[in-house]
Structure 1
């Protein structure tokens, strides 16, 4: 028996199949994607998310919105992503400390980023900026260290909570150079900066974007950047290596993650499109102007980095006696 199918029927079948094929290839066109920032507005995570949200949504043919969901050392935001459907419509803008340092000291409960999230790619990767209030009589990192040794326990430093890069990085610095600073945790960068400008905080380290404008306006004093080389966007600020502290390894990075269970095709699509967005000169310039350095990466490279840095922080925490409690 011969079965004849009309050209119109074949075209109709192809038309009906197209959405299914596109979905199988990971398409997110026409959908609304929420990029969750698990911290308040105004910090480095928020900056990085908003840097890529609009162009990434456009590249995907989707609408991407940024939603701040702070609380519980970022646990509130992380759980909101993990509880969402695993269809790539809810993603995480992850902060390096949340994804590596906090887990290393048990600071985010039962969440295990290596197990619970899939890496998409890095957005920015930038040395931290060490700053003080201008009233502190120290113009360089070495002068600040000398002052702190003269006044053990008399000066304080701020962080965004236990296990944040500000906390872990400063505790590492304290242990390495032998100084005593009092830890003052805050709920977000905005609150921290207000007290820093007011002179209630003496020392702070963070990624440059929220601090650079304040340094340029003279409201804060920059001591150095936490790298062996000077930051290309902040050429007048010395590196930590120039200040006698090489190989600090305190870069701050922010990256996109999908919850475990999102299909591999969608993760691959997100990763490819994110790298395309970060290659755009306009996006790179906006980051650079704020003091951040764009650093595209593959999903595989980010996966390896999370595992490597988690173990590194675990070793540092043991050496410096840093705990989540």
Structure 2
């Protein structure tokens, strides 16, 4: 028995320097960054700018893989089967923290992800076609009240922040809306421009279409009006006490060595500070929103509890 313990100790002692050396040399091959929404939308464009910067800092390519669908939760689920070596990392949208309340899963969003860094959050709003008779938020609410369940709006997916925020708004105002989910901003914009839906709740991936005169902004969801759309009131200005900016960042598989997590954190923090990333964010009225690994882990824990309360309030929790 004593000999076995000595052998186990010896094996652990030998493995520790090897793991440390592996972490110190990280990365020696490309890193895959899985993001939650399709190519061409604001998430894809801004995360590719960040990945390009991080590639130069790490000395290895950071390759973006789009994995849309399931309310933005597929990248986090992909981490559960990935090796904890830092070579597969993923975007963690807010919808990840709602997942266990609406779907049966066998992993924990707080405990089973190594939180690396939070990088930004979305600027959200509601848009309608430029020729829509719903010219203001007042018109929107009045039409919805007169036509219960008939005013269709699209979002970037079921249980995403645009979906839940619109449902919370509807609950507060006593109106019933018809929700149509899409895989991301690119699909959503095609649908509203094609006349399939009456409105779209989205991050400011709609900005180019508004600037081209094809869409109109009825409201935005931040604490203050957006500089790009100064005429669009915030929800708070409209008497709805909601601010939504949905922070998101990057996670790695559970058990990723702390030295590798730190290397990734430091590289992506430096990447966030580059002008090219800030320019990409500004295109969609997004701003850098930094949280270090410890702070991001705490944010995950707090958000997990808060989202449970929201899902239950909206009556969307799964039947146990």
TM-score grouping bracket, smaller chain normalisation? 0.7 to 0.9
Superposed CA offset, 1:175-228 (max 9, x none):
1111111111223332222111122212222211x2111111122111121022
Q: Secondary structure at the match of 2:158?
A: coil
Seen in structure 2, the aligned counterparts of structure 1 residues 72 and 238 have a Cα distance that, compared at 3 Å, is closer
Q: Which residue of 2 aligns with 1:199?
A: 195
Aligned to 1:262: 256
Q: Please state how far the C-alpha of 1:67 moved relative to its aligned partner.
A: 0.8
**Which residues in structure 2 correspond to 1:249-288 (within 5 Å)?**
249-288=243-282
TM-score when normalising by structure 2:
0.86
Counterpart of 2:284 in structure 1 is: 290
Kindly indicate whether the alpha-carbon contact (under 8 Å) linking 2:218 and 2:232 is maintained by their aligned counterparts in 1. yes
CA distance in 2: counterparts of 1:235 and 1:301, whole angstroms: 33
The residue aligned with 1:184 is: 180
- The runs of 5 or more residues in structure 1 that have no matched partner are 1-18
**Residues of 2 paired with 1:158 and 1:94: CA distance?**
22
Is residue 166 of structure 2 the alignment partner of residue 165 of structure 1? no
Distance 1:150 1:27, change over 3 A: farther
Residue 65 of structure 2 corresponds to 67
**Superposition deviation, residue 20 in structure 1:** 6.3
Task: Judge conservation of contact 1:30–1:63 (CA < 8 Å) in 2.
Answer: no
Q: How has the CA–CA distance of structure 1 residues 268 and 154 changed in structure 2, closer, same or farther, with 3 Å as cutoff?
A: same
Q: Deviations over 1:77-111 (max 9, x none)?
A: 333332121110000012222x22333x2336333
Q: Secondary structure at the match of 1:152?
A: coil
Q: Secondary structure at the match of 2:225?
A: coil
1:74 CA displacement: 4.4
User: Does 1:53 pair with 2:51?
Assistant: yes
**RMSD across aligned positions (CA):** 2.4
- How far apart are 1:26 and its partner, in Å? 4.0
- SS of 1:243's equivalent? coil
TM-score scaled to structure 1, two decimals?
A: 0.84
In structure 1, the partner of 2:97 is 100
Tell me how many residue pairs correspond in the alignment: 303
Gaps in structure 2 of 5+ consecutive residues: 1-16
Matched, 1:137 2:133: yes
Q: Residue 42 and residue 130 in structure 1: after superposition, are their counterparts in 2 closer, same or farther (change >3 A)?
A: same
Q: Determine the structure 2 residue equivalent to 1:15.
A: none
